[in-house]
Amino acid sequence: MQVQIRVEWLSESALSVGSTADAQGLGVDKATARDNRGRLLIPASSIKGRLRHECERIERTLGGFVCLPPRAEQMCPLAHPQGQCCAVCEIFGSPWRPAPLRLSDGTLLLASLPEPIRTERELRPFDAQVRPGVSLSRARRAALGERLFFIETSAPNAGFRFQVTLEGELPSTRHRALLLAGLRCLSLLGGGKSRGLGWGRVVRWTVDGVEADEAHLAALIAEGGYG
């Protein structure tokens, strides 16, 4: 079945979606990812990784077999007991199976911004901030020569909304339901979880061209057996 889902993801804390491309010019170790017009961006690969993780968690909770990315030999169909693909690989693909689902980058919705920063000029002074951190060795629980680093994050509490489109030919309504359930649990994007960065949620849904409220969404998820 052909599926098209469009969501708006509201960033509820500062967001750290790293890019080292611009970092040097800014004098930071990691800059926020941006499109070619300087607007904040969440790369599709970053969204796909987190979303896949949420779908794996849900499928496993319900007792379904789920393989163990990212190592190729632990993924379907090699890792599958019947040499097939798990529901998650049937949505997101595996090293041996192209992903039926395509995701767009998360693009910043300018309409969600306050008036002064909605213009096309350089947004960086308004939409980002630089934070210091110290590199820690997890094994030794000690600062690595107390190396101080700086990352650029999006401004906190700015209410940034990012639009993401997901589309493709999925095997069944069950797969669509798993995908929707995963999106509903998508509360984290980018890095810096331990520093409280990257929290948010989907606040607006369009499924196959129809704007879906909470009841419609719940019905679609239940129809696929994930309700």
- 108 part of the interface to Zn ion, by CB under 5 A: no
Across the strands, what pairs with 107?
41, 163
Report in angstroms how near the CB of residue 114 gets to Zn ion at its nearest.
Answer: 43
- 89 part of the interface to Zn ion, by CB under 5 A: yes
- 86 part of the interface to Zn ion, by CB under 5 A: yes
Beta carbon nearer to Zn ion, 93 or 192: 93
Cβ count within 10 A of residue 71? 10
Q: How far apart are CA 106 and CA 122, in angstroms?
A: 19
Angle 181-187-189 from CA coordinates, rounded to 5°: 115
Residue 57: partners with Cβ closer than 8 Å, 6 or more residues away: 185
| Stretch of 14-22, 51-59, 60-68, 197-205 contacting Zn ion, by CB under 5 A | 60-68
- How many positions of this chain bind Zn ion (CB under 5 A)? 4
Beta carbon nearer to Zn ion, 56 or 105: 56
Q: Report CA torsion sign: 76, 82, 83, 89.
A: negative
| Stretch of 6-14, 81-89, 192-200, 217-225 contacting Zn ion, by CB under 5 A | 81-89
Beta carbon nearer to Zn ion, 86 or 183: 86
Tokens of 70: 């990212």
Report in angstroms how near the CB of residue 216 gets to Zn ion at its nearest.
Answer: 29
Report in angstroms how near the CB of residue 182 gets to Zn ion at its nearest.
Answer: 14
Residue 219: partners with Cβ closer than 8 Å, 6 or more residues away: 227
Residues lying near Zn ion in the complex (CB under 5 A) are found at 67, 76, 86, 89
